[in-house]
């Protein structure tokens, strides 16, 4: 079992009698899925019914004993997958009305046109290859895209951006657009729309113009023509994703214009076709004294200036996909602008394809965060679903962890993160525990509590374990430069922009540790609404999970449990490592329930995870101890690595 079937593993079907008055490519898929996968009562009559109903929104559906009702064909398809999921996970049949939280549930592939994947750990791109004839599409490609589309549809994902946000201008040339058309053709019956990342200076780089100034009439004309060309090839094309004036990418500010000028110009050209612009808020400049404050400072003044078909795509945290961040204050600030969350499914900062880290608890924590924007209960889930301020389009994006590896995601358990993203995008109030359970039952064709319970508990503990052995108590961004896997709290470089170094973030010295973002420091707390701002501002009321994110505190600062900060930090690192040791035992104990191939693959990776968690603990404690000048509590295991060795050995030689 190589994991290629994902959560769609087949069981021997039971006969069913499907009644459906209409025929179409989409409905045929629904009928085939039910016929091939039915696990309910044998010979049952089951009706697929397209009937306009007010209580159903978008591609939602209603299930009852007699069948599925929906307003759209895709609603029938999503209802179909829900029926099969319930049957496979042993959930009761019965009535269910289900409407999606977001209209657009989108994967972002950071895939380059040469087939490489930025921050990808599961092999090369499933869409692009390094070859002369860039548009070649083989039957094998189509088969894979078909499987990909089906997997996405089964969890409600209905959009995909097929190229990297650091976008090559070539994507908009006719050669590449032809291939995009082929991709869209395969994905279409599964309801997965195609979107593209675009480079803001495309008019100059591939269009032969002298400027890409968004207010220049020739530039506007160029985008309008380009968009017309795209829709003539792909009539249901979704729209664009734009990374502008961010990490060296071009943007409207190059011409003295604002993000709104740039986004609106493209949005106007997309509007006749109902296309959308997802404009990223991931901006920060080296001159800023606190990097986490910049997106807010830049976008808040533009609130109300964006067109209705522009959605500002905001990473969950204000920094950059760290193991734990407080939510980005923009989620509680913009009122007259459509916004959408960007989550990172690929484990750039959370153990790549090596570590078992189930991310859904992190996303649940984020979605449940209360912004207090319109009083208590203004959670991010509510705000981004359009329940607090109206927005014409609602959406959520996840940076994909998919590649050509036979199990798609590198680590067998990384599939759970793809799965969970889809499930939460459909229902942003779903619990990460329920999702883990569903995924396990389907993926391992296994309903045995002796398997499900311990493995689910392991998944549920895995994110907190990673936070503890990497960056507990609000520490952040202390990774090996650019590598983003192992620790390098010592990383400093006077010649580099400071907000790319570790010492900038932890600020450790003999007085203490942490980044002072209080009113006496960078004042980042002021970007949050009350009561959060005051709560974060004082160490006594700041949640300890964010303590060193907001505060620089002395090593003997007293924690709520009575320990001093240094000791608490030591215990956290030790706890994180010990958890992974437990995961190893848990996994060995469930061997009888898992096929050999996946059992050994996961076992091997847990071994590496354990070794690397040990490195994290040793590196961080030995390094910070130089400043704390205190012993590691004596009931904690002593380090097994040498600080100098860890500092001076290239990551490629340590993490293999």
Residues at the site binding ligand BDP, with contacts judged by CB under 6 A? 118-119, 165-166, 243, 247, 282, 320-321, 348
Question: Of the two residues 94 and 248, which places its CB atom closer to ligand BDP in the complex?
Answer: 248
> What angle do the packed helices 360-368 and 415-426 form, to 10 degrees?
30
Minimum Å gap between C-beta 346 and ligand BDP is 10
Question: Of the two residues 165 and 602, which places its CB atom closer to ligand BDP in the complex?
Answer: 165
DSSP SS3 for 153: helix
Question: Of the two residues 354 and 435, which places its CB atom closer to ligand BDP in the complex?
Answer: 354
DSSP SS3 for 493: coil
Q: Smallest Cα–Cα separation from 612: which of 503, 501, 497, 485?
A: 485
Positions of E strands within 136-176: 159-161
Work out whether strand 61-64 and strand 67-70 pair parallel, antiparallel, or are unpaired.
Answer: antiparallel
Question: Of the two residues 500 and 593, which places its CB atom closer to ligand BDP in the complex?
Answer: 500
Minimum Å gap between C-beta 399 and ligand BDP is 7
Residues written for the chain = 656
Question: Of the two residues 347 and 578, which places its CB atom closer to ligand BDP in the complex?
Answer: 347
Minimum Å gap between C-beta 120 and ligand BDP is 10
Minimum Å gap between C-beta 507 and ligand BDP is 21
Strand partners, 193: 159
Question: Of the two residues 118 and 453, which places its CB atom closer to ligand BDP in the complex?
Answer: 118
Q: Smallest Cα–Cα separation from 445: which of 122, 22, 12, 18?
A: 12
Minimum Å gap between C-beta 419 and ligand BDP is 22
Q: Are 580 and 609 in contact (CB under 8 A)?
A: yes
Q: Smallest Cα–Cα separation from 552: which of 465, 627, 481, 626?
A: 627
Q: Measured between alpha carbons, how far is residue 125 from residues 111, 293, 350 in Å?
A: 6, 34, 21
- Active-site pick, 247, 588, 637, 642: 247
The sign one gets for the Cα dihedral 84, 11, 145, 280 is positive
Gap between the Cα atoms of 339 and 35, Å rounded = 40
451, 452, 457, 463: CA torsion to nearest 10: 110
The sign one gets for the Cα dihedral 549, 554, 560, 563 is positive
* Preceding peptide of 509 cis, ω within 30°: no
Minimum Å gap between C-beta 384 and ligand BDP is 18
Q: Are 259 and 252 in contact (CB under 8 A)?
A: yes
Question: Of the two residues 348 and 438, which places its CB atom closer to ligand BDP in the complex?
Answer: 348
Compute φ and ψ for 181, nearest 5 degrees: -60, -45
Q: Are 18 and 66 in contact (CB under 8 A)?
A: no
Minimum Å gap between C-beta 243 and ligand BDP is 5
Question: Of the two residues 316 and 518, which places its CB atom closer to ligand BDP in the complex?
Answer: 316
Q: Are 64 and 82 in contact (CB under 8 A)?
A: no
Question: Of the two residues 190 and 349, which places its CB atom closer to ligand BDP in the complex?
Answer: 349
Question: Of the two residues 73 and 320, which places its CB atom closer to ligand BDP in the complex?
Answer: 320
- Active-site pick, 320, 342, 364, 365: 320
Residue 320 annotated as catalytic: yes
Q: Measured between alpha carbons, how far is residue 474 from residues 350, 451, 499 in Å?
A: 15, 33, 17
Minimum Å gap between C-beta 583 and ligand BDP is 26
Gap between the Cα atoms of 439 and 35, Å rounded = 22
Helix, strand, coil percentages in the chain from 3-state DSSP, rounded to 5: 45, 10, 45
Minimum Å gap between C-beta 246 and ligand BDP is 6
Residue 247 annotated as catalytic: yes
Residue 309's CB is within 10 A of a number of other CB atoms, namely 21
Minimum Å gap between C-beta 227 and ligand BDP is 23
When CB distances to ligand BDP are compared, the closest residue is 320
Q: Are 343 and 399 in contact (CB under 8 A)?
A: yes
- Active-site pick, 59, 261, 290, 348: 348
Residue 33 annotated as catalytic: no
DSSP SS3 for 619: helix
With residue 397 as reference, give the H or E element that holds it.
strand 395-399
Active site residues: 247, 320, 348
């Amino acid at each position: 079992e190589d994991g290629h079937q994902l959560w769609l593993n087949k069981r021997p079907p039971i006969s069913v009698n499907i009644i459906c008055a209409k025929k179409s490519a989409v409905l045929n898929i629904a009928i085939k899925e039910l016929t091939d996968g039915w696990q309910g009562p044998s010979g049952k009559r089951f009706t697929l019914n397209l009937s306009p109903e007010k209580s159903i929104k978008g591609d939602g559906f209603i299930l009852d004993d007699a069948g599925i009702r929906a307003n759209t064909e895709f609603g029938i398809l999503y209802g179909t997958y829900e029926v099969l999921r319930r049957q496979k996970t042993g959930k009761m049949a019965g009535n269910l009305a289900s409407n999606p939280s977001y209209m657009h549930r989108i994967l972002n592939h950071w895939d380059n046109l040469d087939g490489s994947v930025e921050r990808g750990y599961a092999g090369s791109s499933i869409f692009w290859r390094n070859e002369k004839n860039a548009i070649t599409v083989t039957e094998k490609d189509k088969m894979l895209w078909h499987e990909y589309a089906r997997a996405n549809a089964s969890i409600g994902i209905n959009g995909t951006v097929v190229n990297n946000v650091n976008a090559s201008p070539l994507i908009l040339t006719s050669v590449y657009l032809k291939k995009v058309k082929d991709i869209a053709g395969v994905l279409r019956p599964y309801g997965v729309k195609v979107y593209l990342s675009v480079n803001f200076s495309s008019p100059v780089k591939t269009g032969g113009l002298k400027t890409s100034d968004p207010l220049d009439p020739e530039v506007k004309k160029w985008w309008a023509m380009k968009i017309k060309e795209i829709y003539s090839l792909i009539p249901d094309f979704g729209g664009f994703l734009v990374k502008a004036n961010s990490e060296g990418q071009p943007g409207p500010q190059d011409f003295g214009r604002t993000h709104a000028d740039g986004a609106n110009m493209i949005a106007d050209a997309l509007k006749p076709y109902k296309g959308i612009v997802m404009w990223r808020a991931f901006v920060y400049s080296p001159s800023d004294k606190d990097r986490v404050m910049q997106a807010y400072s830049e976008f808040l003044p533009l609130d109300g200036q964006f067109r209705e078909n522009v959605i500002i795509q905001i990473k969950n945290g204000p920094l950059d996909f760290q193991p734990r961040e407080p939510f980005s204050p923009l989620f509680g600030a913009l009122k007259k602008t459509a916004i959408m969350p960007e989550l990172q499914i690929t484990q750039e900062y959370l153990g790549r394809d090596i570590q078992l880290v189930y991310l859904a608890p992190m996303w649940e924590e984020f979605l449940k965060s209360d912004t207090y924007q319109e009083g208590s209960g203004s959670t991010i889930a509510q705000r981004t679903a359009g329940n607090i301020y109206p927005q014409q389009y609602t959406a959520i994006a996840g940076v994909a962890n998919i590649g050509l590896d036979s199990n798609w995601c590198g680590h067998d358990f990384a599939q759970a993160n793809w799965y969970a993203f889809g499930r939460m995008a459909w229902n942003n109030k779903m619990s990460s525990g329920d999702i883990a359970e569903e995924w396990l039952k389907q993926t391992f064709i296994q309903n045995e509590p002796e398997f499900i319970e311990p493995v689910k508990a392991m998944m549920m503990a895995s994110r907190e374990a990673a936070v503890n052995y990497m960056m507990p108590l609000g520490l952040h961004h202390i990774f090996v430069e650019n590598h983003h896997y192992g620790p390098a709290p010592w990383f400093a470089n006077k010649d580099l922009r400071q907000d790319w170094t570790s010492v900038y973030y932890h600020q450790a010295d003999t007085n203490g540790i942490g980044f002072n973002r209080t009113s006496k420091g960078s004042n980042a707390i002021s970007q949050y609404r009350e009561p959060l701002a005051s709560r974060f501002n004082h160490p006594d009321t700041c949640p300890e999970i964010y303590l060193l994110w907001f505060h620089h505190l002395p090593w003997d600062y007293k924690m709520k449990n009575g320990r001093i900060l240094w000791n608490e930090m030591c215990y956290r690192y030790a706890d994180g490592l010990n958890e992974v040791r437990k995961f190893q035992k848990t996994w060995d104990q469930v061997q009888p329930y898992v096929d050999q191939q996946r059992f050994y693959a996961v076992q091997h990776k847990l071994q590496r995870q354990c070794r690397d968690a040990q490195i994290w603990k040793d590196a961080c404690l030995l390094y910070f101890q130089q400043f704390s000048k205190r012993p590691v509590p004596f009931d904690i295991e002593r380090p097994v690595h040498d600080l100098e060795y860890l500092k001076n050995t290239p990551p490629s030689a340590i993490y293999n």
